[in-house]
Homo-oligomer: A and B are copies of this chain.
C-alpha cells in the first residue's frame, strides 16, 4: 500500500484506499531553517568557541572539522585521525566594495583568534590569522548542521555560514559522501549596491601523509600536484590532484572545490616568490582587483605543492540576501593498516568503500550539488525531528552530537561495506582496534541509524572472530583472520554480542540473516558453560575479562546481567527459529536470575562476590562497591524490550543507589590517581564507588574515572525506571563538561577522541520515548516518559525512520506517525492512554485493547508506511 505524502492514513484508508482523506494534511513539526534553529541547540561565543571542532564528513570518509571560529581544522580525510592537523592557507575570505564603503575591505570568514598566542614564533602565519576578520561569532550546532553568525557591526553585510554533510538515517550511501557543504549567506545592510567576492583558498594536499605538521607547501611527499579549473553548466570550480602517485598508492587521491555561483574567478597557483611574497601577492591582487587572474597550471615540482583560490562574485542590492555554496569533496581511496605491530598485517592495504563509489573527488562534489535539495531536505528532517522533539534539551544535545562519532575516523567502512570500528581516536591513530566487542556493547546509535553497518559487525563477530571452541576474539585483526587474535575472550563483550544479534534481528526482521548466524551464536553463548559458568547455574563465577581491561573473579551483576540478557534473548530467537534449546536457555535464565539476585543484592545495590581463591582477585575487583555498570545487561534488555532480568524492586533500588553514590557535584576535592575526565567544579558519574568504607586497597582500575558512555547508559536506565530528574542530572553534567571552552561538544573523550561508548546516548532517546520496535512482530511502541501531554520525537526502527507525536489528555489521544525513510510495517501499535474505555475515532478501523494504561491497536489489515506517509489516529473514550 502506497500513500501520498503527508496524507492522513486511517484504518479505512488502509483497507479501502479509494476513500479520500478526511482532513487536509498538516505538516509534521518542522522547525525553520537556520538561523531560526530549535531552542534545544546550544550557542557558543567568545572563549566557548575555542575547543569546538564540528566534524564534517560522511560515514567512513573521514572528516574535516569546522572550528568554532569558522576555521577549517583537524584535516582527517587522509584515512587516519589528525587532531590539530592544518592545511596551510586554506581559508575563505570576503571582499566587499561599494555599499557606502570608502574603499574595498577584506575579511577572512572567521572570527578573530582566541588566546593563547604563545608559539615560539608567534601564532603560525600559515593559519592566515594575519588577515582582518570578524570580531565575534556565534556558533550553533545541531548535528549534522553547524551554523555560524559572524558579527562585525562595521560591515555593510550580515554574514553567516551553514555547514553540513548529508546525514539520512538508514541511507548509508547518502550519509557516506566525502564532502563538506559550506553555504555562506550574505544580506546587505547597505543603502547602495554592494559588490561581494568570496574567495576560498586551499592547498593541494594530495600526497600528504595525514600526520606531518605542515607549515607550507614544501614537503618531500609533495610533487606533481596539479590544480585544474572545471566548468560545467550548473557547477564549476577546482580539481586538485597529483600525478606523483599511482591509483593504488596510499597517497593517491584528489580534492574538488566547487560552487554553483555562475560568476567565478580563480587562481590555480598562487604567484611564487620568496619569504611571504606568495600570500602578500594574493592579498594585493584580491584587494586591488577583487578577482583573480587565471593562468594555465602545470604539475608542481618535486617536493612542492600549490595553493589555489576559487572566488565567487556577487552583486547585492540593498536588503538583498544571496548565498554562496562551496562544496569541498575528497577521495583518498586507499588506507593501510598503520596501527598494528603484527608484521604480516602492518601496512596491509585497505580500500575504502566510498573510494569504490567514485572515480575521483569531482563526482561526489557534483553529485552533492545536483542532489542538494533532496540531501539537505532529508538531513534537515532528521535534524528537525530530533532537535524539534519535546525531549529535554541536554538529551537532544547528547543524542545529536554523539551521533557524529559514527562519521569520524572511529568508524571505517571498507569495500563491501565492511564496518571496522576503533574504540576511539588518538590524535594521530585510531585506538584501540578493532570492533571491540565490549566497548560496542554500549553503542546504540549505529544500530538504530545504520543497521546494515551494525550487522556487518555482527558478521565479523560470529562468522570471523568466533573460534572453534566457541570463544570470540574480542578484537578484530585487519585484514580479517578466522578466529581473530589469540587473546582471551571478553565475557561481557561475548554475551553482549548475543544481545546485539537479537537487537539487529528485531530491527531488521531478517530471519535469513539470523539463521546464518544462529549456530555460531549458540556456540558463543554456550561457551559460557565451559568457561565462565562451568556449573551452569546461570551465574558466571569464572575469570571474566571485561571492558575495564581486567578480569572479574566471582559473580557480579555487570557481566551477570549481560549473561542473563543473552540467555533471555537467545531463548526468544530459539523459539522463533523452532530450536528446542529455547527451554534450556529459559530454565537457565530463571535459575540464574534468582541466584544472581540472592548472591549479590545487598539491600541497596548489587555487589561483586569476589572469588578470593583466585590469586589475582586481590586487586582491581569492585567487591562491595557500587558499580555504575552493575545493571548493564538490564539496560540493554530495556533497549531491546526483553523485560526484567532481576526483581524489579531491586533493580530500581540499585539504580537509585548508583545515582546516590556515584553522581558527584564536584571533582576539585576528589582525589583521583587514575585518568582525569572531570575536574574542578564539574559534575559526573563515577565508574564505581564504595559507599561504606569498603574500598579495596587496589580498587577497580577505572573506578574513579568518569566515562560519558557509562553516564549515558545509566541515565537512560534511570529514564527507563522513570527516574527522570536523576537521569537528566547526569546527562546535563556531561554536556556541561563539554562546553566549548573546556572540551569540544562534538568530541567526547575516553580512551581517545570520538569514543564509541558515548553512542550509548541513543538509548536516552529510546528510553524517554519508550520506543520499541519488533520487526518480526511488526509491532511499534511509544511510551513517552516526559511531556506526555504534547510529545514529539524522532524514531529510527531499523527499517524506517520518521516522527512520532502524541497529544495525550484525559480520555483523549491524538497520534501522528510519519515515515521519512525506509518502510514501516505495522501489525500492532502501542501507546499510552489515560482513559478506561478507548475507542478509535472513525474512519480508522481496527481492534484496540487497553492494559496498564497502554493501548494496543491492531489495524484491520497490516499497514505499510513508505516515505512521505503519515498515520494519524484519534482515540477517545467510548
Contacts and interface: CB of A to CB of B under 8 A. Distances in A.
Interface of A: 50-51, 83, 106, 112-113, 115-125, 129-133, 135, 273-277, 279-284, 287, 424-427, 431, 619-620, 668-677, 679-680, 697-699, 701, 704-705, 741-744, 747, 749-753
24 contacts: A51-B115, A112-B680, A113-B679, A116-B741, A116-B742, A117-B679, A118-B744, A120-B752, A121-B675, A121-B751, A122-B675, A122-B677, A123-B676, A125-B672, A129-B676, A130-B676, A132-B669, A133-B668, A135-B668, A275-B698, A276-B673, A276-B674, A277-B619, A279-B673
A673 to B, nearest CB: 4
Sorted from nearest, which 4 A-B pairs have the closest CB atoms? Answer: A130-B672, A115-B742, A279-B673, A123-B676
Contact of A749 (B119, B135, B701, B751): B119
A121 B705 CA distance: 11
A621 to B, nearest CB: 13
B132 A668 contact: yes
Contact of A129 (B115, B131, B425, B679): B679
A743 B132 contact: no
Given A118-B749, A676-B125, A701-B275, A106 B742 contact: no
A707 to B, nearest CB: 10
B674 A125 contact: yes
Given A115-B742, A701-B276, A679 B135 contact: no
A120 B679 contact: no
Contacts of A670: 132
A281 to B, nearest CB: 8
A748 to B, nearest CB: 11
A280 B837 CA distance: 63
A116 B743 contact: yes
A284 B116 contact: no
A747 B123 CA distance: 15
Nearest to A705: B122
A123 B679 contact: yes
A295 B386 CA distance: 62
Contact of A275 (B273, B620, B677): B620
A125 B701 contact: no
Nearest to A115: B742
B121 A749 contact: yes
A680 B113 contact: yes
Does more than half of chain A's interface fall in helix, strand or loop, or is it mixed? loop
Contacts of A750: 121
A104 to B, nearest CB: 12
Contacts of A698: 273, 275, 277, 280
A675 to B, nearest CB: 5
Contacts of A426: 120-121
A281 B132 CA distance: 54
Nearest to A81: B120
Contacts of A675: 121-122, 125
Contacts of A679: 112-113, 117, 123, 129
A286 to B, nearest CB: 10
Given A273-B698, A280-B698, A752-B120, A673 B425 contact: no
Contacts of A673: 125, 130, 276, 279-280, 282-283
A174 B751 CA distance: 48
A122 B742 contact: no
Contacts of A132: 668-671
A874 B119 CA distance: 52
Contact of A120 (B116, B123, B129, B427): B427
Contacts of A431: 120
Given A668-B112, A676-B129, A120 B425 contact: yes
Contacts of A697: 280-281, 284
Nearest to A737: B117
Given A116-B743, A130-B676, 16 more contacts: A51-B115, A118-B747, A120-B427, A120-B431, A120-B753, A121-B751, A124-B676, A125-B674, A130-B671, A130-B672, A130-B704, A133-B668, A275-B620, A280-B699, A282-B673, A287-B671
A260 to B, nearest CB: 29
A350 B538 CA distance: 70
A287 B676 CA distance: 20
A451 B3 CA distance: 93
Contacts of A133: 668
A619 B272 CA distance: 14
B130 A674 contact: yes
A743 B123 CA distance: 11
A425 B747 CA distance: 34
Nearest to A672: B130
Contact of A283 (B117, B671, B747, B749): B671
A284 B673 CA distance: 10
Contacts of A672: 125, 130-131
A697 B283 CA distance: 11
